[in-house]
Each structure stands twice: as C-alpha cells, then as structure tokens.
Amino acid sequence: MEPPHSEVELARKIFSCLKEWRIDRKIFSHTLAMLQQMIA
C-alpha cells in the first residue's frame, strides 16, 4: 500500500489478505498498538 492510508484502508487490506490465505475464520483477534510509532 502506498502511503498515506487510513485505518479503514489498512483493515480492508488485512482482511483481504486473511481471506486470500483462507485464515479469516481462524483468527480470534489482532491488536495493533501505537502503529504510527512503529512505522516511523
């Protein structure tokens, strides 16, 4: 994904990958904390 991107766009991309990998129903939760600081 080319920046800038919103939380909604990131969520859509992540869910799209999970569906592509056929693990979308196997994930219970995924938490991203302080994402801006990790990327910078």
What is the residue-averaged pLDDT of the chain?
77
Judge contact between 9 and 1, C-beta under 8 A.
yes
- Kindly indicate the confidence band of residue 11, based on its pLDDT and cuts at 50, 70 and 90: confident
pTM: 0.56
Contact call for residues 11 and 17 (beta carbons, < 8 A): no
* pLDDT over threshold 70, residue 35: no
